[in-house]
Every structure is written in structure tokens, then in C-alpha cells.
Chains A and B, each alone.
Chain A
Amino acid sequence: MATLEVQGIHSFYGNIEALKGVSLCVNDGEIVTLIGANGAGKSTTLNTICGLVRPRQGTISLDGEVISGLPAHQVVARGVSQAPEGRRIFSRLRVFDNLEMGAFLRKDKDGIASDMERVFELFPRLGERRDQVGGTLSGGEQQMLAIGRALMARPRILLLDEPSMGLAPLLVQEIFSIVQIINAEGTTILLVEQNAHMALSVASRAYVLQSGSVVLEGTSAEVAGNPEVKRAYLGEG
């Protein structure tokens, strides 16, 4: 059974159908990437999984249990957490409080403390700035905080929405290598990216989304080898 199973979801903003029957699945321990052009519906897919957008049709299940239709605060309780597009950290709260908020539903004080230490190990720059207000962090640090905050929920599956957005190449490398470490430690990841190169190099499988529909899926190698993908997303040929 897949960890996350999305079956034929249709999501709307008013009358605009942003997702036209998207299906995908993520197996335990995998990194799966979702790539596509601007406005293809990638963020909408993640927000629908999170419960922030309600699908009109289709089901989403986590470890076989249906989670579509639940409000967002209950979805995170089941083990789905997202580092959203554009970071969206709590800019007036300190780094420490942002991370605490990530663990909002957890009651295990010791576990929270040790997870926070782990986040500071993964991102030493956050550790040095734990009392700094989130809004004053650099873009890269904010991205680290967004990922750290999502990790604090100890999710079954971590949703990352364009973690490389607006970051210098070196920092993108760093973030991606940390994403791989997080995955190696047992967290399943669904990664949305514009940077198809990087995404395909860390993911085992990939989906290509176009105008609200999945137009291609397969292993990363297969998808990377597709001439259309090469042309449109990898800037080759």
C-alpha cells in the first residue's frame, strides 16, 4: 500500500478547474517529484493534499486511510506536513517559536526538544539564530526554517513546494543534499520543483503536470529521457 495515494482529484478556484483529475502515489521511503510549468497546478495539488483546498471529486488517502475532506489541521495530525511555496514562515515569531509551531499538535516535550536539536544539526545556521525574528532571516535561511518547521511535525510524508525558489546555486545544492538526508532517515517526500534537473536527480520517480493533468509519469530516468521533457523543462535539444 502506498503511503500517499491521490486518485482523480478535481480542485476548483471558483469556477476555474485547477486540477482535472490528478492521480499520483508516493510509496514508503521514496522521494517523488512533481514538475511542471508555472500555473500547471503543482501547488494546488499539494494544498489539496494538505486540506487547504477541498477537492470536488477524487480521494486522497494516507496509509490506506482517506484524508480528503478533512480540515487542514486534522490532516497534519494524520502525518502530512508541508513547507509551502514562498516559505511563508511566521515572520514576527522567532526561529524557535516557528519550530515550536511546527510541533503544535505534539504533546511529547522530550521528542519535540530532540527533534528541534536535530533540525539545528541539519541547519546549523538556524541554530545560531534561534532567537532571531523569522522575517529578518535571509531567503535561504527562511527556506531552511520552512523545512525545519514542517519536519517538527514528525510527518509520515513531507511535501516540499519549490524549495530551490530564488536561491543561489550553491544553496540549492545544500538544500537538496539535506532533503536527501531527511529522506535517508526515513521521511517520505513529495517534491514540487521548477528546477527539474535537481528534482530528477534526487527523486526516484516523477510526474509531469500540465494544465491540471498528469501528462507523463515514470522513473526519474525515464522522465528525464523524454524528448518533450528535455525540451520544455531541462532546456536541452
Chain B
Amino acid sequence: MLKRSLRRGALVGGVLVFIALIGAPAAFAREPVVRGVVTLSQLLLAIGALLAGSGAAPATRTRSTGAVVAAGAIAGAVCMLLLALLALLVSAVDLRQVLVNATPQLVDELTLGRGVVTGSTVLVVLGTVLGALGGWSTRLPAAISRSAVLAGAAVVVVGVLRDKGLAIAEAVALGVAVWAVAYGRSRWGSALATRYQRVQRRNSTMVSIVVWIAGLFILLGLPSILGTYGTSVLDLVGLYVLMGLGLNIVVGYAGLLDLGYVAFFTIGAYVTGLLTSPAASTQLGLSFWIAWPLAMVAAAGAGALLGIPVLRMRGDYLAIVTLGFGEIIRILVLSDTFKSVLGGAQGIIEIPGPSIGSFTMMRPQHFYYLILIGVMIVVFVSRRISDSRVGRAWMAIREDEDVAEATGVNLVKYKLLAFAMGASFSGIGGAIFASWVHSVFPNSFTLLVSINILSLVIVGGIGSIPGVILGAFFLVGLPEVLRSFADFRMITFGALLVAMMIARPEGLWPAKSRRRELHLEVAE
């Protein structure tokens, strides 16, 4: 048992030392999670100690609680001891020639600003306590500990998202609320669900109206909880949800791998720019409300157009051709040939925000509501269509084209419909994007956007609407949240992505029919 504790403590401690030496604590130190109480770098250490402690506890229940707590305490202490040694080493020897991040600031961060000797002692003592806590937590019923993890995660995410962190009271309230909901759900969830179903059956409209209104209130209130920065992140996530749901129709439902999906986003954005900007070559200066349906139609048309040459293609060939299509559109808008119309590299500027009467949308909070409406419409359409005859035809095409045709599915019609429909969602996204950033430049529409959208669909769970939404939060929201960590953003993000695909290859929230499968197979 001692060996296990030592090993676990050393492992987590080693990882933390590594993270420290790549400079994370210094970057994380600027990020208060709970104002005046704890920063993200301190939380990182605490989480490490907790993990070491809980990992040291043997899986079997044969040991007494005391033994488990002791094992955890040892692991936590070992883990923090390594960091204390690092602090001692860095303060005694100047290693900056070799390890650029071995700075006095790192020592300060590791020793909680209390000087090397006192700080190291405090660190190890805290490690012991937290490790013991971690060990003890393994003896708690899963419902309690899992809810606590969720609550902690919620506090961290919201705290990081908020510009200056949460106040103590807010953090406590949020943590307790999330814990209570999560605990309640895991404890009484299924009973509640059956109760709910019973009530719902009795007076279904009433109940669903209440649920909808409650959900709506939360959604409407989010901008005021998150503040300006948080809301702009949310806006970006929302735009990607729009596009993700569009691509989900093409790739998830119809199984047509499209790597040039950004093309329709580009078209939506440029059409909106051309129609609304007084500075554009067209000088039309139309209202956003006229422009967006046209942008949607133009994107849908382009989708169908792309569909025609690729009707007979499958799998990887289709992927290559669509990839080329995305690049062609970007190069066209960048080209000198169309410079007089589309502005070349200068793009189109002075695109006005949408206005209602004399009010013009400017702030992220305004766009939040616009995007929310867009997302709700697209979710609704996606849901209805996936349960419809059209949805079934798409899924049959995805499963087996020949057999689908032999059961009566007109491949030409349904494939073009999938391309057009998917493209139209992206066109709406492009229209909103153009009026949100007030300009369009070819550089905003690179292959990376297509890849991002495809990744969020896959990570979320291909073919699943909640999956796409979660995927957008994970792939678009998270990197934004991590933005203040500069260099570690992509390292952390990449590591999370790899870990996630190993742990949940079927996606965060897989479509029902996909749950059993492990690997994504592309067409044929």
C-alpha cells in the first residue's frame, strides 16, 4: 500500500513539475477563479494533490477508512514534496539558462508567496491534507463525489470565464447549486424522470411549457451572468453550433464527408457584406433582415451546385473534391479578378450591425440573442427532419447507397437536398458573422474552419444534436476560455482532445444508434 501511495504521489508530482517547468503556474497565476482567494495556478496544485490522494486509495473496499485516508495523505505529501524540492532547487541554483521558466516568480507561485522555507512547509502540509481528503473521497458514495467534481468544474469554468473571477459568495452559491442539482439528479434522477413522465402524460402541454419557459429564462439570462467577454465567447460557440448542425446534416445524417464546408460560411458572409455594406462595390446598403435570407439561399444554391459533380463520388474522393471546393471559394474571394467586386485581400468593411427601428445591434449581448434565435430555429429544423422521411432517406444513404436506392430513395434528389440544407445553415452563420464583426476578409475563411467544424461534430457525437452543441462548447468555447494561457492553450487543448477521444471515441453525447460503435468509418 505504501508503495502504491509513493508511486501515485510521485507520478502526479512529476506531471506537476513538468507543467510548472513549461511555465503554466506563472500564466495561471494571473487568472483568479475566486477573487482574492484562489487563482487557477493554486487550484492546479490543489487538484493535483486531490488526484494523487484519490488515486492512491486501493480500488477494493477491504481497507478501513483510516488506511485509505493515510494512503491518500502520503501520496499528497509526496506529490507536493516534489514541488517543494523544485522550489528549493530553483531558488538555490539559477537554472534559467536551461529552463527558461525556472524563475523566481515560479518559486513565488509554488510557495504561495510565503518564502521558500515556510512556503514549502505549507505546501507539503496542504498536500497532505488534500491528499487525505482525496483518499477519503473514494469512500464516499459515487453520487456525492461525482457531483462534487462537477460542481468544482463548474466553479472553475465560470470563474475563469468571468473577467475578474467570482466573488466568494458567488462561487459558493454556484458550487452548492451545481452540486445539489447533480446530486439530486444522480440520486433521484430516474425516479424523478418517471414521475415527470407521469405528470407529463397527465397534462403534457402544461408541464412542457413550464420546462421550456424555465430553460428559456436561463438562456436569456446567460449574458448577464457571464459578462461581455463570456458572452462573446458564447456568441462564437453559437455560430459554430449553427454551422456544426449544418455539417451534421451532410456528414452525420447523409454520411457525405464534406471538407470544404467553410465555403458556404464564406458565401453567406460575403453575400451579406455585398448587400448591406455601403462601402462594398455594390453600394446597396440593404438591411441585414433582407440580406440574411438571400445569404442563406445563395449558400444553399452553392451547396446544391457542389453536390452535382460529386453525386457519384464516395468516401475519400468526395472529401478531396469538397476540400478543393472550399479552397476555390477562398481563392476566388482573394483573387485580383474579382477584386473590384469582392475587395480581394482587403475584403469588405463597414458592414452594419442588424438594426430594429433606430436600435442597432453592437454588443456581444445583442448578437447573443440573434444567434440564440438562429440556433433554436436550426435545432428545431434538425430535430424535425431527422425524424422525418427525408431524415430516414439520408440515413439509409449513409448506411448503404445502393440498397437505399433499391428501396426507392432518389439519390440525386436526397443528396442535393442534404448539401443544400447543410449549406443553408452555414450561410445563416456567415450572415450573422459578417454583421457581427462588421467586415469580411478572405483570411477568416480558411480550411481550419472546416476542420474545426468537422472536429466538433465528431467530438460531440456525429449525428447527434446535443452532441454538436457540446462539441462546439468543447472545441470552440474551451480554447477561448484558455486563451489567457497563451502557449499552454494548445498543449492543454490537444491533450484534452486526445484524452477525450480515447475515453469516449463515440463522442461526448453520441446519437443513440452510434453508442455501440467505437470507430468512425467514413462512407465506404
Establish whether residues B403 and A76, one from each chain, have CB atoms under 8 Å apart when the complex forms.
no
Complex Cα gap A71–B516 (Å): 34
Q: Nearest Cβ distance between residue B436 and chain A, in whole angstroms? A: 37
Establish whether residues B392 and A100, one from each chain, have CB atoms under 8 Å apart when the complex forms.
yes
Contacts of A93 in B (CB 8 A): 392, 395-396, 399, 513
Task: Tell me the residues in window 502-520 of chain B with beta carbons closer than 8 Å to chain A beta carbons.
Answer: 513-514, 516-517
Establish whether residues B513 and A52, one from each chain, have CB atoms under 8 Å apart when the complex forms.
no
A229 at interface by CB-CB < 8 Å: no
Contacts of A90 in B (CB 8 A): 395-396, 399-400, 403-404
Establish whether residues A76 and B406, one from each chain, have CB atoms under 8 Å apart when the complex forms.
yes
| 28 CB-based A-B contacts, threshold 8 Å | A52-B406, A71-B410, A72-B405, A76-B408, A77-B408, A81-B406, A82-B406, A84-B406, A88-B402, A88-B403, A90-B404, A92-B398, A92-B517, A93-B395, A93-B396, A93-B399, A94-B513, A100-B392, A101-B396, A101-B404, A104-B392, A104-B396, A104-B407, A104-B408, A105-B407, A105-B408, A135-B516, A153-B407
Selected contact of A72 from candidates B400, B406, B514, CB within 8 Å: B406
Complex Cα gap A105–B80 (Å): 68
Establish whether residues B408 and A88, one from each chain, have CB atoms under 8 Å apart when the complex forms.
no
Contacts of A133 in B (CB 8 A): 513, 516
B171 at interface by CB-CB < 8 Å: no
B150 at interface by CB-CB < 8 Å: no
Nearest 6 CB-CB pairings of A with B: A105-B408, A90-B399, A104-B408, A72-B405, A92-B513, A76-B408
Establish whether residues A104 and B409, one from each chain, have CB atoms under 8 Å apart when the complex forms.
yes
A residues near B, CB below 8 A?
Answer: 50-52, 71-73, 75-77, 81-82, 84, 88, 90-94, 97, 100-102, 104-105, 133, 135-136, 149, 153
Q: Nearest Cβ distance between residue B231 and chain A, in whole angstroms? A: 38
Contacts of A149 in B (CB 8 A): 407
Contacts of A88 in B (CB 8 A): 400, 402-403
B389 at interface by CB-CB < 8 Å: yes
B residues near A, CB below 8 A?
Answer: 389, 392-393, 395-396, 398-400, 402-411, 513-514, 516-517
Contacts of A84 in B (CB 8 A): 402-403, 406
Interface contacts beyond A71-B405, A81-B406, A104-B392: sample of 10 additional A-B pairs, CB < 8 Å, sorted by A: A72-B406, A73-B406, A84-B406, A91-B399, A92-B398, A93-B392, A93-B399, A93-B513, A104-B389, A135-B517
Complex Cα gap A220–B392 (Å): 41
Contacts of B404 in A (CB 8 A): 90, 101
Contacts of B400 in A (CB 8 A): 88, 90
Q: Nearest Cβ distance between residue A13 and chain B, in whole angstroms? A: 14
Q: Nearest Cβ distance between residue B251 and chain A, in whole angstroms? A: 14
Contacts of A100 in B (CB 8 A): 392
Q: Nearest Cβ distance between residue B198 and chain A, in whole angstroms? A: 22
Establish whether residues A102 and B407, one from each chain, have CB atoms under 8 Å apart when the complex forms.
yes
Selected contact of A92 from candidates B399, B402, B406, CB within 8 Å: B399
Complex Cα gap A9–B393 (Å): 31
Q: B513: nearest residue on chain A (CB-CB)?
A: A92
Interface centre among A77, A90, A102, A149 (most CB of B within 10 A): A90
Q: A146: nearest residue on chain B (CB-CB)?
A: B403
Establish whether residues A73 and B410, one from each chain, have CB atoms under 8 Å apart when the complex forms.
yes
Complex Cα gap A205–B293 (Å): 62
Q: Nearest Cβ distance between residue A89 and chain B, in whole angstroms? A: 8
Q: Nearest Cβ distance between residue B507 and chain A, in whole angstroms? A: 14
Contacts of A94 in B (CB 8 A): 513
Q: A76: nearest residue on chain B (CB-CB)?
A: B408
Q: Nearest Cβ distance between residue A81 and chain B, in whole angstroms? A: 7
Contacts of B396 in A (CB 8 A): 90, 93, 101, 104
Q: Nearest Cβ distance between residue A223 and chain B, in whole angstroms? A: 28
Q: B402: nearest residue on chain A (CB-CB)?
A: A52
Contacts of A97 in B (CB 8 A): 392, 395
Contacts of B407 in A (CB 8 A): 73, 76, 81, 101-102, 104-105, 149, 153
Q: B397: nearest residue on chain A (CB-CB)?
A: A90
Establish whether residues B406 and A50, one from each chain, have CB atoms under 8 Å apart when the complex forms.
yes
Complex Cα gap A72–B402 (Å): 9
Complex Cα gap A133–B463 (Å): 15
Contacts of A102 in B (CB 8 A): 407
Contacts of A82 in B (CB 8 A): 406
Complex Cα gap A50–B403 (Å): 10
Q: A91: nearest residue on chain B (CB-CB)?
A: B399
Interface centre among A94, A101, A133, A136 (most CB of B within 10 A): A101
Contacts of B513 in A (CB 8 A): 92-94, 133
Q: Nearest Cβ distance between residue B348 and chain A, in whole angstroms? A: 43
Contacts of B395 in A (CB 8 A): 90, 92-93, 97
Q: B393: nearest residue on chain A (CB-CB)?
A: A104
Given A90-B395, A104-B393 in contact, is the A136-B411 Cβ separation under 8 Å?
Answer: no
Contacts of B398 in A (CB 8 A): 92
Q: Nearest Cβ distance between residue B349 and chain A, in whole angstroms? A: 47
Contacts of B410 in A (CB 8 A): 71, 73
Complex Cα gap A38–B400 (Å): 23
Q: Nearest Cβ distance between residue B398 and chain A, in whole angstroms? A: 8
Complex Cα gap A101–B405 (Å): 10
Q: Nearest Cβ distance between residue A44 and chain B, in whole angstroms? A: 13
Q: Nearest Cβ distance between residue A180 and chain B, in whole angstroms? A: 24
Contacts of B516 in A (CB 8 A): 133, 135-136
Q: Nearest Cβ distance between residue A104 and chain B, in whole angstroms? A: 4
Contacts of B411 in A (CB 8 A): 73
Contacts of A101 in B (CB 8 A): 392, 396, 404, 407
Contacts of B408 in A (CB 8 A): 73, 76-77, 104-105, 153
Contacts of A76 in B (CB 8 A): 406-408
Complex Cα gap A105–B399 (Å): 18
Contacts of A73 in B (CB 8 A): 405-411
Q: Nearest Cβ distance between residue A220 and chain B, in whole angstroms? A: 28
Q: Nearest Cβ distance between residue B397 and chain A, in whole angstroms? A: 10
Contacts of A75 in B (CB 8 A): 406
Complex Cα gap A197–B171 (Å): 77
Establish whether residues B389 and A52, one from each chain, have CB atoms under 8 Å apart when the complex forms.
no
Q: Nearest Cβ distance between residue A75 and chain B, in whole angstroms? A: 8
Q: B414: nearest residue on chain A (CB-CB)?
A: A73
Contacts of A51 in B (CB 8 A): 406
Complex Cα gap A82–B402 (Å): 11
Contacts of B402 in A (CB 8 A): 52, 72, 84, 88
Interface centre among A72, A81, A91, A97 (most CB of B within 10 A): A72
Complex Cα gap A102–B409 (Å): 10
Contacts of A135 in B (CB 8 A): 516-517
Establish whether residues A52 and B399, one from each chain, have CB atoms under 8 Å apart when the complex forms.
no
Q: Nearest Cβ distance between residue A46 and chain B, in whole angstroms? A: 10
Q: Nearest Cβ distance between residue A69 and chain B, in whole angstroms? A: 15
Q: Nearest Cβ distance between residue B256 and chain A, in whole angstroms? A: 15
Complex Cα gap A153–B406 (Å): 10
